[in-house]
Amino acid sequence: MCDIFAAIQQQSGYSLLYNNKLLKNERPVTIDVKNVSLEDALAASLQHTKLTWVITDRIIVIRKKTGEELLPVLAKISGKVVDDTGTPLPGASIMVREHGAGTLADKDGNFTLKNILHGPCTIEVSFIGFRTLKKKLQVSDSVLFVSLSLERDESSLAEFTVTALGIARKSRSLTYATEVVAGSDLTTVKNTNILNSLSGKVAGLQVNRTSGGAGGSVRMVLRGDKSTRNSQPLYVIDGLPVYNQVGGPSAGLYNEIPDAGDVISTLNPDDIESISLLKGASASALYGSQGSNGVVLITTKKGKNGGGRIDFSSSVTVEKAKILPKLQYDYLQTTPPTESSPGSDESWGAKGATQPDKDYVKDFFQTGLTFINSLGLQTGNEHSSNYLSYSNTDNKGILPTSRYKQHTLSFRQSSRLLNGRLHFDGTFIGAMQQAHNRINPGIYFNPLPGLYMFPRGQNFSDYKQFEYFSPARYLYAQNWWNINYDKDLANGGGWGGQDYQQNPYWTLHRNASENRNQNVYAAVSLKYILNTWLSVQARGNVSYFLNEYERRIHATTQATLARANGNYFSGRTNNRALYGDLLLTGERRLGSDWGVSFTAGTSVQDQQGKVTTIEGSPSVPNVFLESALERATIDIRNTATNRQLQSVFGSLQFSYRDKLYFDLSDRHDWSSTLAFTTTEGRGYNYYSAGLSAMLHEWIQLPPFINMAKVRASYAIVGNDIAPFSTYPLYTFLGGGVSSPPVSRPVVGVPGIELQPERNKSLEIGTHWKLFDNRLSLDVTWYKSNIIHQYFSGVSLLAGPGTLADINAGNIQNKGLEIMLSGKLIDRPDWNWTSTLNFYHNSNRVIELFDYGVVDYASNQQYRLTGGSGAEDGILKKGGAYGDIYGRGFRRDEQGRIVINSATGIPYYENGQYLGNPNPRISVGLKQDLRFRDFSFSFLIDGKFGGKVLSFTNAFLDQMGVSAETGRLRDEGGYMTIENAVDENGHPWQQKTPAREYFAQTSGKTPVMEQYMYSATAIRLREISFSCKLPFRRPALQQLQVGLTGSNLFFFLLDAPFDPEQVAGVNPVGVGVDVFGLPMSSSMGITLKYTH
């Protein structure tokens, strides 16, 4: 005590007087206080003694307490518990450890603790889903008020997981792997399609953005490609399935229609509470054939108990074209233009003066700008809650004239009626999208081929005025270096151009495309609590998606693409999906050790789709009305899709002492797509079984191990076939010309009749938590075999030309997933969380066809849809899904390229294996740091392995505009072909003229081998920095600003384009570039406010 008094006297500058006799009966005192007042220091020193103090004229006198003063001084602590946005947290636990006092916050987050002794104490506040707060207090007044703000702990989402049918289960009880992405991870760096925000954050997930621009569709695959028709997962909103359309442009040269977007792109990221991914067949078995490829469960926000709340967020991002082709500008057009000729297409001419307007390619792309605004309103009490939000997106793309706009309105209402026994939940989401000039890959109606291949030496600025008035046509005609109607007429031809390029500005202004989407989604759920352990629930939803597409192709567009008066194309796609189910769920203890939970139900889903396209040439130039189309040119086509799925299902889980769990599930489906088969009446059945055990509760483990869980599951899941496959219909072309089906199913022959696809899946995993739950490790090994794949147009042994639709094949995926997460620093004011995910998948075609039935000679491989039209996307026994085959160099036994000695050009052969675009390994590393009111995070992800193909570079080389052709000419104009021999096996020492080489090996039909690139890429995917502004006014204390970046740079990239891009959501087409829109990098500013 004397030492404490001496320290107080020295640090305060006050004199301190006391009688040593007063200290004889007092116990030793230890205190640890910093930056406190003199009175607080004295109170801490004397709180557990019979002494007190008096201060007079900077003199401290220590004296003995009177009898009245010896009575304990009690105080009251009052306060309010809120989250990091100021929303009250009713039910939060508040404890004062020193006194053992505790209470719970009321519905408004308020609390009161009574009979608290004066002096220092520690208050501890906890709430599910939030980090526990420990705060030191100095109690000296009779009433103390404190405001306590808790931060969300995203890792707590793992305590409960939303599983199939929207049922929340304890994560420890799951017998399969799942991953949960919190809503905050989707809005830190916003995307116009929320699915792009999952890239690099989930083990086992491959995300490919379409190359059309903002709001485009996303191709997602869980645990490898599986199905010959499509490997897209099922999307579920709040437990109910929705139809998300697939398809779109292929990765070929001759696309005419861009990507149309999808249903998920219409969702507002700020409306999402979390996304759970059910990756294996065991996890998704209750969804039946729809969930064979995995399930993406989207949980939306709803109002919370505790009064009203307003959330506002606004962001603006600036985008720049990131990866442009490497071009040359020094070597001029091979044949210069004259008054009577536009000159040659190629730029293999002499080296000339500085290229006029040399930066025209870079300058062509504009700075993109995206605004995303969102406003949300929440109200709620213990009986009812409401959530209403509106968001809008306005994007000006990097492509001139490209615009994208979206408006989304959502509302969710939840109520508890009949004394809490009846639960109502209703959701409405409405969205409108409009995309102007969303680019389609390929050479048709794409401004990029003309931009990149513009002949060197000419001035690109001369053609920014893309049209001129044609006296001969009496209209405005295209103005391009080799397209001019009047010059073509005057010179007897030569100015008609080629199909692979037009004036880029003409394409954008006079071949413009419009996409308009409308999405309406509504869902209702009624759940009645029968008793303490049993409930019944009826649910249903309706989803309506409308896409309208239009392209107006003006007269004097290149003749291959349009008729003399122009062309008009319009399309309308309607998709309507209905879903309803009835569930009986229960959970009950069976004695002290056992527990059981179950689900039984039935469901029906009905999908109807219709596509109508109208194409023709107007009878009067540039009059784009259906009624103005010339009758002989009109082509009207209709496509319909109808599918109904009826099901009964059930699941059963037993638990033993909450440390051993056993799962069983079973489902039986009847699909309308299997009409006219023996499966129609009996349907098809599948099941799953799983086991999980908490090892740390069975055996004694070291104390640093907080949890050790092992799990295993096996499932067989079916998948129906495409509508009308069992009874193909006639197709009708322009003028009502009908065509019978080219391929039909085989009826009445055992073993060949169409049947459901079967996915057999085995999964084994383990989950460990260590060091006071600061380190988490989850490892999963899986293997799936998908048999009875659907194949169309297969030649049978029954006779030449006999084509049939059959089931065959066995595609296997085998892989490893690792999720490692650690809280490197976990303090009240400072947190650092590091997350690493690792994914390895091996895909193999085990079997293709039964050659006892199928003709071997013509069916050694099968081409999937969505590729370039060459030999990419090939299935072959022993190969992998999506293998790329094509034209490659002929090689001898030693692997040397064989050269034609007469021409100096390598021999080539078709059908060579060139690679597979899918990565072998994917890794994501995410860092989240928070210091007080400042937050910083970044995501680095890498894809390793795979090969991708660039048709773009093949064109650029043949035209002599690539940087590589310029380099070769700088070095003399000859190619040196390494490791080559002539036809007789003699080493090839000669050089080949570069122009002749590329004329034979590049262009539309290149030797694809030389345009294959490594798909390995490591990038900075996301980065963000944010802080709460230090306003004193309470109304402004929840104002947060931030800086964000996306795809800022690559640490490693070999390909001349982003290897992740795809043309559309098709079975294949991954990693094939045909003049796709360059990837853009973005930086932005965000503003968030909660009140």
| pLDDT score, position 524 | 96
Shared-domain flag, residues 81 and 128: yes
Mean pLDDT in the chain?
A: 88
Provide the token pair at 567. 């062309």
Look at the chain and count its residues: 1091
Shared-domain flag, residues 34 and 82: no
Q: Quick one: the chain helix, strand, coil %, rounded to 5?
A: 15, 50, 40
| Residue 520 located in a structural domain | no
| Residue 354 located in a structural domain | no
Say how far apart CA 81 and CA 90 lie, in whole Å: 8
Please state which of the ranges 162-166, 218-222, 861-865 shows the lowest mean pLDDT.
162-166
| Residue 770 located in a structural domain | no
Apex 252 CA angle, 250 and 256, nearest 5:
70
Say how far apart CA 696 and CA 659 lie, in whole Å: 9
Say how far apart CA 423 and CA 527 lie, in whole Å: 5
| Residue 969 located in a structural domain | yes
| pLDDT score, position 53 | 80
Of 120, 152, 184, the position where a domain reaches its end is: 152
Contact present, 893 and 901 (Cβ < 8 Å): no
Provide the token pair at 1000. 């034979």
The kind and range of the H/E element at 680 are helix 679-682
- For residue 334, is pLDDT > 70? yes
Q: How many structural domains are present in the chain?
A: 3
Q: The CATH number of the domain where 26 resides is what?
A: 3.55.50
Contact present, 772 and 702 (Cβ < 8 Å): no
For the purposes of burial, counting CB atoms within 10 Å of the CB of 47, is it exposed (0-12), middle (13-18) or buried (19 or more)? middle
Provide the token pair at 502. 């037009």
Confidence of residue 958 (pLDDT cuts 50, 70, 90): very high
- Could you report the per-residue pLDDT of 1018-1046, keeping only the tens digit for each? 999 999 999 988 776 766 767 899 999 99
The kind and range of the H/E element at 710 are strand 705-719
pLDDT: is 258 or 914 the higher one? 914
Q: The CATH number of the domain where 107 resides is what?
A: 2.60.40.1120
- Could you report the per-residue pLDDT of 90-128, keeping only the tens digit for each? 778 888 866 667 788 887 788 888 877 777 778 888 876
- For residue 630, is pLDDT > 70? yes
For the purposes of burial, counting CB atoms within 10 Å of the CB of 447, is it exposed (0-12), middle (13-18) or buried (19 or more)? buried
- For residue 268, is pLDDT > 70? yes
Shared-domain flag, residues 904 and 994: yes
**Residue among 796, 670, 809 at smallest CA distance from 744:** 796
Shared-domain flag, residues 960 and 1000: yes
Residue 525: beta bridge partners? 425, 539
Say how far apart CA 350 and CA 829 lie, in whole Å: 67
- For residue 244, is pLDDT > 80? yes
Helix (H, G, I), strand (E, B) or coil at 49: coil
Amino acid of residue 879: G
Residues 6+ apart with CB under 8 A from 13: 58
Say how far apart CA 432 and CA 414 lie, in whole Å: 25
Shared-domain flag, residues 78 and 54: no
DSSP label at residue 247 = B
Sign of CA dihedral 990, 996, 998, 999: negative
Main-chain dihedrals φ then ψ at residue 320, nearest 5 degrees? -130, 140
| pLDDT score, position 156 | 47
Helix (H, G, I), strand (E, B) or coil at 983: coil
Mean pLDDT value of segment 561-573? 95
Crossing angle of helices 2-12 and 38-46, rounded to 10°: 180
| Residue 270 located in a structural domain | no
Residues 6+ apart with CB under 8 A from 6: none
Confidence of residue 158 (pLDDT cuts 50, 70, 90): very low
- For residue 69, is pLDDT > 70? no
Mean pLDDT value of segment 534-552? 94
First to last CA, the chain: 49
| Residue 110 located in a structural domain | yes
Of 133, 152, 171, the position where a domain reaches its end is: 152
| pLDDT score, position 1037 | 65
Shared-domain flag, residues 908 and 959: yes
Shared-domain flag, residues 898 and 958: yes
Q: Of 67-71, 247-251, 799-803, which one has max mean pLDDT?
A: 247-251
The kind and range of the H/E element at 968 are helix 963-970
Shared-domain flag, residues 83 and 144: yes
pLDDT: is 180 or 318 the higher one? 318
Of 43, 64, 85, the position where a domain reaches its end is: 64
- CA-only gyration radius of the chain, Å: 35
For the purposes of burial, counting CB atoms within 10 Å of the CB of 6, is it exposed (0-12), middle (13-18) or buried (19 or more)? exposed
User: Which stretches does DSSP call E strand in 591-634?
Assistant: 594-616
Say how far apart CA 508 and CA 163 lie, in whole Å: 46
pTM above the 0.85 mark? no
pLDDT: is 870 or 242 the higher one? 242
| pLDDT score, position 70 | 56
Shared-domain flag, residues 56 and 106: no
Give residue 236's Cα distance to chain centre: 14
Residue with tokens 């087409």: 1069
- Could you report the per-residue pLDDT of 746-779, keeping only the tens digit for each? 776 666 778 888 899 999 999 999 998 899 999 9
Say how far apart CA 659 and CA 652 lie, in whole Å: 16
- Could you report the per-residue pLDDT of 635-679, keeping only the tens digit for each? 998 888 899 999 999 999 999 988 899 999 999 999 998 888 887
**Residue among 649, 654, 681, 678 at smallest CA distance from 665:** 649
Shared-domain flag, residues 1004 and 887: yes
Pairing of strands 660-671, 635-656: antiparallel
Give residue 3's Cα distance to chain centre: 64
| pLDDT score, position 501 | 94
Please state which of the ranges 234-238, 409-413, 1082-1086 shows the lowest mean pLDDT.
234-238
Greatest pairwise CA separation for the chain in angstroms? 124
Q: By residue range, what is the domain housing residue 955?
A: 883-914+950-1014
Please state which of the ranges 60-64, 240-244, 966-970 shows the lowest mean pLDDT.
60-64
Shared-domain flag, residues 898 and 985: yes
Contact present, 109 and 103 (Cβ < 8 Å): no
- Could you report the per-residue pLDDT of 920-929, keeping only the tens digit for each? 999 999 999 9
Say how far apart CA 466 and CA 449 lie, in whole Å: 16
Contact present, 176 and 690 (Cβ < 8 Å): yes
Shared-domain flag, residues 887 and 976: yes
| Residue 140 located in a structural domain | yes
